[in-house]
Copies of this chain bind each other. A is one copy, B any other.
Amino acid sequence: MKHILFSLILFSALSISAQNEDSIFIRKVYNMALSNGESYENLRELCKDIGARVSGSAEAEMAVIWAKNKLESYGFDKVYLQEIKVPHWERGTKEAGWIIEQDGTISSVHLLALGGSIGTNGRIQSEVISFSSLEELKKAKKSDVEGKIVFINQRMNEKQIQTFKAYGGCYSIRGYGAVEASKLGAKAVIIRSLGLPIDKHPHTGSMDYEEDVTKIPAAAISTQDADILAEKIKTGSVEFSFEMDCREYPDVISYNVIAEITGTENPNNIITFGGHLDSWDTGEGAHDDGAGVIHTMEALRILKEMNYQPKNTLRLVLFMNEENGNRGGKGYAEWAKSQKNEKHILALESDRGGFAPRGFNLDGEEKYIQLLASFAPLFKEYDLHIFEKGYGGVDISPLKNTFEGIPLVGLVPDSQRYFDFHHAPSDVFENVNKRELELGCAAIASILYLFDMNLMGG
C-alpha cells in the first residue's frame, strides 16, 4: 500500500513538474514571438518585396530564393530545395466585364478569371441565364442554356459560424461550374465570388475542366456586382460581355523549400510542418498563405533561438503549388516515401490565415486526439480553446495515404474575417495584424515542442 501511494505521489509530482516545465517553455516561446519576433517584418518582405506568387511565375521563383536565403540565415541544420513540376497559368493583361441591359445601359463589373480558365479569345457577349446553385444548373435543359453565359449566384451562407464550412458549401460552383455549364452548351460561366462581405473584390481560385467536355471561359464577379446583376435579371433579359486573355503554359520546374533541425534522439523520426509559398496572383497572398509560411518559419526560428534540441527531426516544408495542383504536397509525400529510413510521426500545417489562433484540429486516431486535448490546459492563458478532431490541411493531405496512421494537425485561427480576403485583391499585408500573426507563430512553436516531447513514433 505504501509503495503504491509513493508511486502515485511520485508520478503526480513528476507530471506536475513536467507541466511546469512545459508551461515555462511555452511562456518563453510567446515572449520571443511577441517581443523579439521577426514574423511581421518577414511577412512584409514576402508581400511587399515579392508580392503575389502564383505557381510558375517569376514571383514564385523569387519567393523560393527569398525563403531559402532566409532559412539559411537562421543557421538550421539543413536547408535544401526539392524539385517539382508545377502548372504555369497566366492571367494575361486584359480582363474586363460588363452588364448590358436591354435599353443599352452598360455597367462594368469587378471580375477575375478563375485560375486555370482559358481566355475568351476576344470579347464575347451573350444573354445571361442565372442559377442559384450547381445542382440547379445540372437540372437545366440544354435548349435553355445553349449559347448563353451561365451565371451561378450562390451566396455563401453567412449564418454558418464556421466560415470554412460556408466556403465548402459553395466550392462546387467554382470548381465544376464551367464543366456543367459547358455540358449544356453554355458559352462561358461567371460565378458569384466566394466571399462573405458584399463588396467590390472578386475572389479567384482553382477550377477544373474535364477531358471530354469543351473548355469554356470562367470568371468570378464581386458579390456586389453579383447582387446588381441578379437585380437587373429580375427586370428582364440581360446580356453579359467579357474579355480575358489568360492562358495555360507548359509546366515549369519549381521547388518546395525545406529546412530541418535534426532530432537528437530519433533523427529518422520526422515531424513535417509548413505552409504554402505560392498564392493566387491577386493581392499579395498575405493571409493565404503568407501567414502560414511565416508562422512555421518563425516557429522553427524561435525553437532554434531557444536552443531547443528536438528529440525528433523538425522539418519545415514551404510547399509550392497548393493553390492549383498541390504538386508540392504530392511531390513531398512521394519523396518522403522513397526515404526508406524515415519514420513520419506527425505533420502540421497552417493555411487558414494569420488571425488570432484559437487552437488546433487533428485528423487521426483517437489516441492522438487525446494527446492533443491533453495539451489544452497549457494554452488556456493564451486563449486557445479548440483541441479536437478536424482537418489538417491540403499540403499535408497526401501524407495520409502515404504513411498509414500519421496524425495531421491544422492550426485553427479565428475564421470570421478569412473570407473577406481569401483569393481577393484585398489579401494584402495591411490586412494582417502584427500581434495576431505573432500569436500564431507562438502557438505553432509551442505545439511542435509538445508533440516532439510526447511522440516517439511508437
Contact = CB atoms under 8 A, between A and B. Distances in A.
Given A383-B358, A385-B385, A159 B433 contact: no
A31 interface: yes
A85 interface: no
B197 A434 contact: yes
Contact of A159 (B35, B196, B356): B35
Chain A: interface residue count, which band? 20 to 34
A429 interface: no
A127 interface: no
A161 B417 contact: no
Q: Which of A381, A433, A434, A439 has the most CB of B within 10 A?
A: A434
Contacts of A237: none
A416 interface: yes
Interface in A145-183: 158-159, 161
Contacts of A439: 161, 416
A34 interface: yes
A382 interface: yes
Contacts of A38: none
Contact of A158 (B159, B196, B197, B435): B435
A278 interface: no
Given A414-B356, A414-B414, A34 B435 contact: no
A158 B35 contact: yes
B416 A161 contact: no
A355 to B, nearest CB: 9
A43 to B, nearest CB: 14
Contacts of A31: 159
Nearest to A419: B435
Given A30-B161, A34-B158, A435 B196 contact: yes
Interface in A386-432: 386, 414, 416-417, 420
Nearest to A160: B34
A68 B66 CA distance: 57
A227 interface: no
Interface string A432-446: 011110010000000
A435 B159 CA distance: 10
Interface string A32-46: 001100000000000
Contacts of A358: 383
A359 to B, nearest CB: 9
23 contacts: A30-B159, A30-B161, A34-B158, A34-B159, A35-B158, A158-B435, A161-B382, A161-B383, A161-B439, A196-B435, A197-B434, A197-B435, A356-B414, A358-B383, A383-B386, A383-B414, A385-B385, A414-B414, A416-B435, A416-B436, A417-B435, A417-B436, A420-B433
Closest 6 interchain pairs by CB? A385-B385, A31-B159, A34-B158, A356-B416, A416-B435, A34-B159
